[in-house]
Amino acid sequence: MKKIIIAPDSFKGSMSAKEVADAIERGIKGVLSDVEIVKIPMADGGEGTVETLVDATMGKIVTINVLDPLGNDAEAYFGILGDGRTAVIEMALASGLTMVPSSKRNPLITTTYGTGQLIKAALDHGCQEFIIGIGGSATNDGGVGMAQALGVSFLDQEGQEIGFGGGSLSAIKEIKIKELDPRLNKCIFKVACDVDNPLCGLKGASHIFGPQKGADSYMIKILDENLAHLAEIIKRDIGVDVKNEPGAGAAGGLGAGLMAFCNASLQRGIELVIEATKLEEKVIGADLVITGEGQIDFQTVHGKTPYGVAQIAKKYKIPVVALVGTIGTGVEVLYMEGINAIFSIVEGPMTLEECMKNGSELAERTAGNVVRALNMANF
């Protein structure tokens, strides 16, 4: 009996990773009856990671009320994995750029407080291990809002708590962690971070990511100076030097905040997902691995799902086929990294809307055709 691993990412806007895996499974079973199929929905730490890891581990989704980046009430959610003790959180679900209308984007005032509320809620559910995706932020507050939600005090000259946003950081005169949630001491935080930007400077959070969050050149200068000030106070009062740490500038400095107040370690997103889903142990003994994503191109080799899956399969000399929506430029590099063949599920001229609407059917048919071809060669 053949063993086939199905480990795709989502096709954004069309299918979740689980829906892609289900479609591929149907295509295979339409051709092969004597086959063992193991479905492992995947993600790379970005959008969709919560649902993917919950699906892959038979966990659950928890919905709570939080403050959005502008301090308004909003609904957000996090996942608890099947082990019952690991929380998976996407900061973008509480503090994300898509939550703020374009006309109101202003990193001087946006806060990560809602992300801290998600962490606190996960603590209340007994979680002691955390996987946090920090892409897509609307914020530039160095994770101060997140820390405030967890009990840290950032006091001004008068001993009052500072306000929300990156524009308030210059007022910090003292950081007190006496009320920091003590449960954090027993927790392990792993942060999905695929950038190595420092907190400050020309390659830091404000200069590189500030413009997409609504910052003009004047704001960028203020934000960068404020993050440098925050780093100095953190070093003085907490004893942690985050200023030049790779990845500290991710998500407007949330990387730095998680390092300082949650003792977090930063890892590539796909590595965290591979570990959480136990992909490697499930791949052992397989005859074929099928992965995929909406668009594959030269960027895929920089930590995207098909690359990560292929690296594991390559370790055990297992062939890998990638089913994708669009094949972009520079995919040839992937043939050196463990992917043996790439197939687009698109059949002839189709609009993007048609492709996305019919993605499940297209993936199913393409998977069936791929297995037919392999079956002819007695794979």
Specify which residues 60 forms β-bridges with.
80
Whole-angstrom distance, CA of residue 53 vs CA of residue 40: 9
Please report the pLDDT score of residue 8 as a whole number.
Answer: 96
Dihedral sign of CA atoms 116, 118, 121, 127 in order:
negative
pLDDT digits (tens, 9 = 90+) for 213-240: 999 999 999 999 999 999 999 999 999 9
Do the bridges between strand 86-90 and strand 73-80 make them parallel or antiparallel, or are there none, so unpaired?
antiparallel
Q: pLDDT 10s digit of each residue in the chain, 379 long?
A: 889 999 999 998 789 999 999 999 999 999 998 899 999 999 988 888 999 999 889 999 999 999 999 999 999 999 999 999 999 999 999 999 999 999 999 999 999 999 999 999 999 999 999 999 998 899 999 999 999 999 999 999 999 999 999 999 999 999 999 999 999 999 999 999 888 899 999 999 999 999 999 999 999 999 999 999 999 999 999 999 999 999 999 999 999 999 999 999 999 999 999 999 999 999 999 999 999 999 999 989 988 999 999 999 999 999 999 999 999 999 999 999 999 999 999 887 777 777 777 788 999 999 999 999 988 767 6
Please name the helix (run of DSSP H) or strand (run of DSSP E) that holds residue 65, with its range, or none: strand 60-67
| Side-chain half-sphere exposure of 226, counting CA atoms within 13 A | 29
Whole-angstrom distance, CA of residue 76 vs CA of residue 63: 6
Tokens (6 digits) for 336: 């050196």
Given a contact cutoff of 8 angstroms between Cβ atoms, the answer to whether 60 and 79 are in contact is yes
Q: Domains plus CATH for the chain?
A: 2-41+287-376 (3.40.50.10350), 49-269 (3.90.1510.10)
C-alpha 42, offset from chain centre:
11
Q: Which of 9, 88, 4 is nearest to 42 (CA)?
A: 9
Instruction: Give Cα separations from 227 to 78, 108, 137, 145, 247 (angstroms).
Output: 28, 11, 16, 13, 14
Please report the pLDDT score of residue 245 as a whole number.
Answer: 93
Please report the pLDDT score of residue 355 as a whole number.
Answer: 75
